[in-house]
Amino acid sequence: MAGSLNKVQLIGRLGADPEIKQMVNGKNVARLSIATSQSWKDKSSGERKEKTEWHRVVIFNEGLVNVVQQYVKKGANVYIEGSLSTRKWKDESTGQDKYSTEIVLQGYNSSLTMLDSRGGNGNSNLVSENKSSLPNENLNQDSNDLDDEIPF
| 66 vs 150, residue with greater confidence | 66
Q: What is the mean pLDDT of residues 46-55?
A: 95
Residue 21 has pLDDT above 70, yes or no: yes
What digits encode the pLDDT tens for the residues 124-148? 444 444 433 333 333 344 444 444 4
- Taking only Cα atoms into account, the Rg of the chain, rounded to an integer number of angstroms, comes to 20
Residue 2 pLDDT level (bands cut at 50, 70, 90) = confident
Read off the pTM: 0.71
Task: Please report, for residues 26, 85, 144, the alpha-carbon distance to residue 149 in angstroms, rounded to integers and kept in the order given.
Answer: 49, 52, 12
Residue 1 pLDDT level (bands cut at 50, 70, 90) = low
What digits encode the pLDDT tens for the residues 62-119? 999 999 999 999 999 999 999 999 999 899 999 999 999 999 999 888 999 999 865 4
Domains and CATH numbers, the chain: 8-90+97-131 (2.40.50.140)
DSSP states of 74-133: TT-EEEEEEEEEEEEEE-TTT--EEEEEEEEE-STT-EEEE-S-STTS---EEEEGGGTT
Task: Report the residue count for the chain.
Answer: 152
Residue 28 pLDDT level (bands cut at 50, 70, 90) = very high
